[in-house]
């Protein structure tokens, strides 16, 4: 019967190596000892064989040893056991075998911390060559061989599942979970040794544009090349992780600021070199944000947060560079964290509200639609600008929850208006790329429309060009399914993205909205006027209506009228209105909407009438 190593046998003897050697080799179990700094101080012959090490690896730090993947998390556990004392028992999968292991805290005569002992039991008992030769031969038939093959395949699949639980499938780098453990361990060790830990938040510049235009297959190859380059920039003892998308995190332990600068410079220069994909040369640089323990934070969340903020500063300063976290950034980061906390509470409590900005027909001035806009009024801060809280929602993973609330509120409001006998113009609802990525997007929207008991053509879904191109095939499938039940679609911010006219022709789009960035300066800048006119002509060539967004002056309106623009939306006509004020605007609107909801638009080309839903 296998026996566990009794910690009392090794914690009171001055010659620890001799005691462990006797116990470890006597029972034939793998045994390894690490000192309090996690350097390998002893390993018996069985452990050398199982872990595929040699005696030359003695005295190396655990992070530099060529150990199996399952050892990635052991350093964190070792650190915990050394701090708390005692023994931790765990289950390991080694070479396809499930084994029991014990991690024991080693103490000196005065109770001082001497390190850690790892012992592995059960299936890995070692037989000497003499024992092995004395074993009688065993006949193995074909069925046995098949069973062994199935077991090997099963073990291989199990090892892969365990690997993917802690590593990124595309690059093989540690994922967010393993990064958290590694960073926590690095901070704990730095506290004891009074050293620094640096967190480098690395974001690839221009990656999204290349991914959108050349496709995800090319994007994946770039990410693999980027991971390889970044690994060459950090030390063997450091951790490089992929957080997702084009974001990577490097954790540098036991460093000086000079070390950090050297690594950051190496990353920036290495990533600036041309990428070669399918004989094409692509330029992708990197923006790097740096946070340092203990100056910028004392835990995982604070260090990752401030490194993220520093990375955005690097982008603001022109990209292709690194930036350290600064004190004024810390104040902003704390404010941002508080805003995110408050926003989460507001979303959970349903405190977001909707306002509606009318859209008018330029020829008649009639209200022919409206855009639903989400607003947040905090009890302390008051009205928080959408540009502020929506960016926080984007980074905080709240866009899907907010998008769902927007749909529910707008559909419920349309139902109430219809119950009062109102003829409701089509209400546009903005949809984020995160919602479009949801495989159940169509099912959820359809269910909400049915629950509200309103016609599907009561709403129009506004999509940005970039959202359309993120996963064009999946988006097209979503749109075609929703079109079948009557939902309308429009493209928002037209002219600012990377959409292809060839794709636009395939989409069931009925409206293009020219971005306000072109409207703002069209009266004084001829190039913006030309771009706006071209966008209008393109829309008409596609057979859709064109609406100018952000119209604020009579001069802009006249130019748009001259260029044949169909509709307009902006403060020149109406600001975003609360539901009751929107009703008043409809009732007082000149040339009020007819029951049919359509009007004739003069012009020298055939255009469909503005679509108005009932």
pLDDT in tens, 446-466: 999 999 999 999 999 998 877
pLDDT in tens, 370-416: 999 999 998 888 899 998 899 889 878 899 999 999 999 999 999 99
Whole-model pTM: value is: 0.52
Backbone angles phi, psi at 306, to 5 degrees: -75, -30
Section 305-333 average pLDDT: 83
Helix (H) and strand (E) counts in the chain: 23, 21
Q: Any idea which residue has 């027909």 for tokens? A: 361
Those residues with Cβ within 8 angstroms of residue 363's Cβ, 6 or more apart along the chain or in another chain: 561, 566, 599, 601, 602
Per the structure block, which two tokens stand in for 323?
């930036």
Q: Between 236 and 613, name the one with better pLDDT.
A: 236
Edge-to-edge, what's the strand order for the sheet holding 321-324? 239-244, 247-255, 196-204, 286-293, 321-324
Share of the chain above pLDDT 70, in %: 77
Q: Do 475 and 504 meet the contact criterion of CB atoms below 8 Å apart?
A: no
- Residue 97: HSE in the Cβ half-sphere, 13 Å Cα cutoff: 11
Looking at residue 612, what is its pLDDT? 34
Section 243-253 average pLDDT: 92
Residues 260 and 327: their CA atoms lie apart, in Å, by 18
Q: Grade residue 96 by pLDDT with cuts at 50, 70 and 90.
A: low
DSSP readout, 48-69? HHHHT--GGGTT-BGGGS---G
Section 51-57 average pLDDT: 83
Per the structure block, which two tokens stand in for 195?
């050293």
C-alpha pair distances (Å), 404 with each of 360, 372, 531: 27, 13, 35
Residues 275 and 281: their CA atoms lie apart, in Å, by 6
Looking at residue 279, what is its pLDDT? 74
Residue 563 carries which DSSP code?
A: T
Per the structure block, which two tokens stand in for 505?
């022709």
Residues 92 and 100: their CA atoms lie apart, in Å, by 6
Q: Do 27 and 1 meet the contact criterion of CB atoms below 8 Å apart?
A: no
The least confident of 82-91, 98-107, 437-446, 488-497 is 82-91
Looking at residue 160, what is its pLDDT? 65
Give the Cβ contact number of residue 426 at 10 Å.
24
Those residues with Cβ within 8 angstroms of residue 487's Cβ, 6 or more apart along the chain or in another chain: 445, 449, 456, 457, 459, 460, 461
Looking at residue 35, what is its pLDDT? 87
Per the structure block, which two tokens stand in for 42?
């002893």
Q: Please, where are the H alpha helices in 250-326?
A: 257-272, 300-316
Cis amide linkage into residue 419, ω under 30° from 0: no
Q: Do 491 and 460 meet the contact criterion of CB atoms below 8 Å apart?
A: no
Give the Cβ contact number of residue 55 at 10 Å.
8
pLDDT in tens, 598-611: 333 323 333 333 32
Residues 515 and 539: their CA atoms lie apart, in Å, by 13
Q: Grade residue 4 by pLDDT with cuts at 50, 70 and 90.
A: very low
Q: Grade residue 68 by pLDDT with cuts at 50, 70 and 90.
A: low
pLDDT value at 10 more than 90: no
Residue 396 carries which DSSP code?
A: T
Looking at residue 606, what is its pLDDT? 36
Q: How far is CA 400 from the centre of its chain?
A: 13
The least confident of 143-147, 360-364, 434-438 is 143-147
Backbone angles phi, psi at 443, to 5 degrees: -60, -40
Looking at residue 114, what is its pLDDT? 82
Section 62-79 average pLDDT: 70
Burial 575-598 (b: 16+ CB within 10 A, else e): ebbeeeebbebbeebeeebeeebe
The least confident of 32-36, 45-49, 296-300, 597-601 is 597-601
Those residues with Cβ within 8 angstroms of residue 110's Cβ, 6 or more apart along the chain or in another chain: none
Task: Of 238, 242, 257, give the one whose Cα is nearest residue 182.
Answer: 238
The conformational region for residue 159 under phi > 0 = left, psi -120 to 50 = alpha, else beta, is alpha
Looking at residue 140, what is its pLDDT? 36
Give the Cβ contact number of residue 197 at 10 Å.
24
Residue 39 carries which DSSP code?
A: B
Strand partners, 241: 249
Looking at residue 11, what is its pLDDT? 35
Section 562-583 average pLDDT: 95
Q: Between 472 and 245, name the one with better pLDDT.
A: 245
Task: Of 114, 111, 119, 48, give the one whose Cα is nearest residue 89.
Answer: 119
Cα-trace Rg, the chain: 32
Q: Do 440 and 601 meet the contact criterion of CB atoms below 8 Å apart?
A: no
pLDDT value at 357 more than 90: yes
Residues 273 and 293: their CA atoms lie apart, in Å, by 30
Section 127-150 average pLDDT: 42
Those residues with Cβ within 8 angstroms of residue 603's Cβ, 6 or more apart along the chain or in another chain: 564
pLDDT value at 70 more than 80: no
Q: Any idea which residue has 């070199």 for tokens? A: 273
Looking at residue 13, what is its pLDDT? 32
Q: Between 336 and 310, name the one with better pLDDT.
A: 310
Residues 383 and 6: their CA atoms lie apart, in Å, by 65
pLDDT value at 367 more than 50: yes
Per the structure block, which two tokens stand in for 513?
């909205």
Looking at residue 346, what is its pLDDT? 94
């Amino acid at each position: 019967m296998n026996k566990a190593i009794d910690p009392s046998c090794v914690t009171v003897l001055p010659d620890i190596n001799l005691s462990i050697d006797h116990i470890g080799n006597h029972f034939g179990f793998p045994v390894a000892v690490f000192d309090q700094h996690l350097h390998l101080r002893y390993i018996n012959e069985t452990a050398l064989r199982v872990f595929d090490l040699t005696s030359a690896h003695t005295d190396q730090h655990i992070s530099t040893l060529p150990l199996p993947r399952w050892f990635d998390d052991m350093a964190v556990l070792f650190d915990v056991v050394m701090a708390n004392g005692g023994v931790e028992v765990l289950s390991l999968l080694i070479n396809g075998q499930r084994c029991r292991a014990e991690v024991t805290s080693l103490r000196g005569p005065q109770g001082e911390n001497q390190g850690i002992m790892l012992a592995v039991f059960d299936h890995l008992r070692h037989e000497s060559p003499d024992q092995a030769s004395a074993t009688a031969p065993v006949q193995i038939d074909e069925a046995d061989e098949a069973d062994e093959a199935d077991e090997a395949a099963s073990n291989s699949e199990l090892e892969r599942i365990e690997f993917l639980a802690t590593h990124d499938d595309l690059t093989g780098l540690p994922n967010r979970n393993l990064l958290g453990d590694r960073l926590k361990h690095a901070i704990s060790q730095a506290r004891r040794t009074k050293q620094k830990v640096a967190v480098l938040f690395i974001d690839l510049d221009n990656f999204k544009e290349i991914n959108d235009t050349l496709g995800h297959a090319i994007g994946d190859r770039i990410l693999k090349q980027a991971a390889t380059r970044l690994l060459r920039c950090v030390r063997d003892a450091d951790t490089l992780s992929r957080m997702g998308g084009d974001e990577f995190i490097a954790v540098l332990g036991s460093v000086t600021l000079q070390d950090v600068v050297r690594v950051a410079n190496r990353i920036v220069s290495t990533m600036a070199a041309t990428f070669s994909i399918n004989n094409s040369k692509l330029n992708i640089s990197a923006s790097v944000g740096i946070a340092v323990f203990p100056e910028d934070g004392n835990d995982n969340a604070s260090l990752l947060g401030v490194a993220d903020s520093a990375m955005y500063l690097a982008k603001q300063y022109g990209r292709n560079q690194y930036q350290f976290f600064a004190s004024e950034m810390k104040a902003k980061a704390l404010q941002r964290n508080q805003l995110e906390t408050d926003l989460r509470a507001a979303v959970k409590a349903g405190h977001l509200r909707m306002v509606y900005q009318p859209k008018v027909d330029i020829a008649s001035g009639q209200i022919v639609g409206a855009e639903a806009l989400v607003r947040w009024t905090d009890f302390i801060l008051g009205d928080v600008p959408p540009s502020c809280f929506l960016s926080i929602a984007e980074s905080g993973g709240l866009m899907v929850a907010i998008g769902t609330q927007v749909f529910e509120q707008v559909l419920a409001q349309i139902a109430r208006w219809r119950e009062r006998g109102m003829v409701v113009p089509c209400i546009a609802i903005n949809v984020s790329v995160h919602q479009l990525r949801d495989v159940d997007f169509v099912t959820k929207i359809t269910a909400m429309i049915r629950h509200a008991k309103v016609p599907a053509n009561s709403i129009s879904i506004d999509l940005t060009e970039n959202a359309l191109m993120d996963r064009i095939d999946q988006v097209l499938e979503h749109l075609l399914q929703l079109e079948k039940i009557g939902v309308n679609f429009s493209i928002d911010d037209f002219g600012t993205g990377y959409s292809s006219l060839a794709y636009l022709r395939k989409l069931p789009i009925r409206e293009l909205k020219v971005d306000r960035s072109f409207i703002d300066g069209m009266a004084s800048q001829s190039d913006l006027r030309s771009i706006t006119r071209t966008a209008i002509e393109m829309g008409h060539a596609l057979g859709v209506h064109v609406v100018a967004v952000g119209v604020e002056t009579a001069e802009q309106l006249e130019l748009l009228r001259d260029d044949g623009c169909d509709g307009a939306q902006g403060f020149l006509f109406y600001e975003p209105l609360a539901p009751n004020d929107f009703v008043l605007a409809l009732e007082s609107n000149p040339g009020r909407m007819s029951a049919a909801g359509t009007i004739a638009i003069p012009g020298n080309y055939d255009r469909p009438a503005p679509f108005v839903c009932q």
